[in-house]
Amino acid sequence: MESGDRTWEVFIQKKPGLAFKHAGSCHGYDKKMAIQNARDLYTRRGEGRALWVVPTEAIVSVPLDDAEAFFDPGEDKAYRHATFYKIPDGVSHL
């Protein structure tokens, strides 16, 4: 890549209160250029009113072939879900 030119991951919040959602990536030499490019590229039709850009190299992810082992600790704990518990008939608001 040309010196100074970097890719950035773009996240858009559609409405206040909603989560930011990944939209894609863009180029930019610095933060300001990156967020302006993200605006021009991903919000031409009112897709959102708030934007994040994050340098691509800052994203950490779990490769899919490792995912099974990585997420395994969360799989077998049914007692973490509300449906695990039995509540007698006639009791409400639980």
Partner 1 sequence: MDKFEQAFNEIIEKDLKVEPRDWMPEKYRKNLIRQISQHAHSEVIGMQPEGNWLLRAPSLRSKQVLLAKIQDEAGHGLYLYSVAETLGISRQEMNAQLHSGEAKYSSIFNYPTLTWADMGAVGWLVDGAAIVNQVSLQRTSYGPYSRGMVRICKEESFHQRQGYEIMVQMANGTPEQKEMAQDALNRFWEPSLMMFGPHDADSAHSSQSMAWKIKRESNDHLRQRFIDRTVPQAHFLGLTIPDENLKFNEETGHWETSPFNWDEFWNVIKGNGPCNRERLDHHKKAHNENAWVREAAAAYSSKVETSVA
- Which string of x and - marks every residue 45-84 that binds partner 1 (by CB under 8 A)? x---------------x-xxx-------------------
Q: What CA–CA distance (Å, rounded) separates 26 from 33?
A: 10
| Residue whose token pair is 């993200």 | 38
**Amino acid identity at 32:** K
Minimum CB separation of residue 39 from partner 1 in Å reads 11
d(CA 30, CA 85): 52
Specify whether the CB–CB gap between 44 and 85 falls below 8 A. Answer: no
Which C-beta is closer to partner 1: that of 19 or that of 82? 19
Pick 18 or 32: Cβ nearer partner 1 = 32
Note the residues at the interface with partner 1 (CB under 8 A). 1-5, 7, 23-27, 29-33, 35, 40-41, 44-45, 61, 63-65
